[in-house]
């Protein structure tokens, strides 16, 4: 059987945002479920905008999410391969030089649109003879290079999300693959890398659908030109893009990434649980077990409708995930001295692990007690005498004794005790919290409250 190989190909021109993370996750899941390989490809051919700090950030973010790749390639180290592919296509007559400026191309597009025509490149550069080209270059006008689409070869594939896709290449512009300064655009390097990295599953956003149509011809042209031994094309799938909660494209989604999630105290498991299933027919649930998420992962569940990202839903998932975490999962992030029993007591009250210190203060003190009525002070004085740590459950021993002695029950019984012992009206289960406070400190707090 062929090993499934997927890739995530970010450009290091900024931090990963939530849409990038979702693409990385789904490629990781596609590979892992099939027992295949998930590769990271750093698309850093844009020397002006690429930054090494962003390469490091991409690796850090993927590691934080638990999406570490099985291999990594950098396009900046593969320029000789793109040059070889370009020369092969040039010899085969599948690339050609064009000399129009950006302004000239923009005028052409506006004229076409004004006439109700699609803004497709008119292939004027193909009509230039050698003398015209020589004159252009003598004038110091360096060409950009376009890939010549085969208008006789219809483009079709079965998309893993969108189903049957068909494009008429005559309705597409011949794409620019190389700039006048000899730098590369996305199309050719990506195709070369997919061939040489053995990528056979390409899963990306639906904004790449027309790119796929072009790249399908690019694959076949490279094989025909002898650049590489022919093999089956990858399977392509294009998932719907993310939108905001209000149903509109959100600018915030473009800046919301792992650094923002970490700063907000979001667990990576919550991010994974949400992004694994939004935009699918499967319910979004606080599932921290990756294997369980992988079992349900299937491209057939993906919807073509835009996927809605809701930060409020992420917060709710995060709280539910935190309530599942064991002490060992968070021990390095907890206050000193906060052990297993304390984590178990405090965990149900948390929405973020970082809040644990606030609740741990109820144990370590100091606390601020409210002012009590004379009746409650008398009641708390009886609590001092009734406090008994000799059994396994000092809280219920205390409340049962006070209930029998005073006739109090419900809120009049429990609330003054909680306020005296913690300074709060609500909080962790007192059955678990009181032993953590300890007998001496509990007695001191009750005595202080009783006046």
Query: Which residues are known binding-site members for ATP?
Result: 251
Q: Per the structure block, which two tokens stand in for 364?
A: 């370590």
Q: Which residues are annotated as a binding site?
A: 251
Query: Among candidates 367, 352, 366, 344, which has minimal Cα distance to 436?
Result: 344
**CB 344, CB 327: distance < 8 Å:** yes
User: Cis link prior to 366 (omega < 30° from 0)?
Assistant: yes
SS3 365: coil
Cα separation, 386 vs 381, whole angstroms: 9
In residues, how long is the chain? Answer: 451
The burial class, CB within 10 Å (0-12 / 13-18 / 19+), for 300 is exposed
Angle, helices 268-277 vs 52-65, to 10°: value is: 90
Query: Among candidates 382, 367, 372, which has minimal Cα distance to 449?
Result: 372
Instruction: Using the CB atoms, write b or e for 363-375: b if 16+ within 10 Å.
Output: bbeebebeebeee
Secondary structure letter of residue 280 according to DSSP:
B
- Please state whether beta strands 37-42 and 5-8 pair in parallel, antiparallel, or not at all (unpaired): parallel
Query: Among candidates 439, 437, 438, 432, which has minimal Cα distance to 341?
Result: 432
Instruction: Using the CB atoms, write b or e for 58-77: b if 16+ within 10 Å.
Output: bbebbeebebebeeebebee
């Amino acid at each position: 059987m062929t090993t499934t190989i997927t890739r995530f190909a970010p450009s290091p021109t900024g931090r990963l945002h939530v849409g990038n993370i979702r693409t990385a996750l789904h490629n990781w899941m596609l590979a892992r479920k099939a027992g295949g390989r998930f590769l990271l490809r750093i698309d850093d051919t844009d020397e002006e905008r690429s930054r090494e700090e962003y390469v490091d950030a991409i690796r850090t973010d993927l590691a934080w999410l638990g999406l570490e790749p099985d291999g990594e390639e950098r396009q900046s180290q593969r320029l000789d391969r793109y040059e070889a592919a370009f020369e092969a296509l040039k010899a085969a007559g599948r690339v050609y030089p064009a000399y129009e400026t950006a302004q000239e191309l923009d005028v052409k597009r506006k004229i076409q649109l004004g006439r109700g025509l699609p803004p497709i490149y008119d292939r004027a550069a193909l009509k230039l003879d050698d003398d015209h080209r020589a004159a252009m270059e003598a004038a110091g006008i360096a060409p950009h290079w376009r890939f010549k689409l085969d208008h006789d070869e219809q483009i079709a594939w079965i998309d893993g999300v969108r189903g049957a896709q068909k494009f008429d290449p005559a309705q597409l512009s011949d794409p620019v693959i190389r700039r006048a300064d000899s730098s590369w655009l996305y199309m050719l390097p990506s195709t070369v890398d997919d061939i040489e990295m053995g990528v056979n599953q390409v899963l990306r956003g639906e904004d790449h659908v027309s790119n796929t149509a072009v790249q399908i011809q690019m694959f076949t042209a490279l094989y025909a030109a002898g650049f590489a031994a022919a093999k089956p094309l990858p399977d392509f799938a294009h998932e719907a893009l993310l939108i905001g909660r209000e149903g509109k494209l959100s600018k915030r989604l473009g800046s919301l990434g792992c650094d923002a999630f970490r700063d907000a105290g979001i667990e990576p498991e919550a991010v994974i649980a949400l992004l694994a299933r939004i935009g699918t027919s499967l319910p979004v649930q606080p599932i921290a077990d990756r294997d369980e998420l992988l079992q349900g992962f299937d491209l057939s569940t993906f919807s073509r409708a835009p996927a809605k990202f809701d930060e409020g839903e992420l917060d709710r998932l995060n709280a539910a995930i935190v309530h599942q975490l064991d002490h060992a999962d968070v021990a390095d992030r907890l206050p000193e001295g906060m052990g297993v029993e304390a984590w178990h007591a405090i965990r149900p009250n948390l929405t973020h692990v970082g809040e644990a210190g606030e609740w741990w203060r109820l144990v370590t003190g100091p606390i601020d007690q409210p002012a009590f009525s004379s009746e409650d002070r008398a009641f708390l004085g009886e609590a001092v005498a009734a406090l008994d740590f000799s059994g396994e459950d000092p809280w219920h021993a205390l409340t049962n004794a006070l209930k029998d002695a005073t006739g109090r029950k419900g809120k009049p019984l429990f609330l003054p005790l909680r306020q005296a012992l913690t300074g709060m009206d609500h909080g962790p289960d007192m059955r678990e919290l009181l032993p953590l406070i300890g007998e001496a400190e509990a007695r001191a707090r009750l005595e202080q409250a009783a006046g």
